[in-house]
Amino acid sequence: MTVPDFLAAKSRGVRLTMLTAYDYTMARLLDASGVDGLLVGDSLGMVVQGHEHSLGVTLDEVIYHTKMVARGVRHALLVADMPFMSFQVSPQQALENAGRLVKEGGAHAVKLEGGVRSAAAMAAITSADIPVMGHIGLTPQSVRRVGGFRVQRDEARILDDALATEQAGAFALVVECVPADTAQKITKAVKIPTIGIGAGVACDGQVLVTHDMLGLFDDFKPRFVKQYADLGQEILRAVEGYCREVREGTFPAAEHSFR
Identify the bridge partners of residue 196 per DSSP, sorted by sequence position: 175, 206
Q: Name the percent of the chain in helix, strand, coil, to the closest 5.
A: 45, 15, 40
Helix axes 24-32, 59-72, angle to 10 degrees: 50
CB distance 38 to 27 below 8 Å: yes
Long-range residue pairs from 52-55, CB within 8 A, at least 24 positions apart, any chain:
53/140, 53/143, 54/83, 54/84, 54/140, 54/141, 55/84, 55/141, 55/143, 55/144
User: Any idea which residues carry the catalytic annotation?
Assistant: 176
Among the listed residues 183, 187, 208, 151, the one whose alpha carbon sits nearest the alpha carbon of residue 17: 208
CB distance 77 to 1 below 8 Å: yes
Among the listed residues 82, 90, 74, 81, the one whose alpha carbon sits nearest the alpha carbon of residue 36: 74
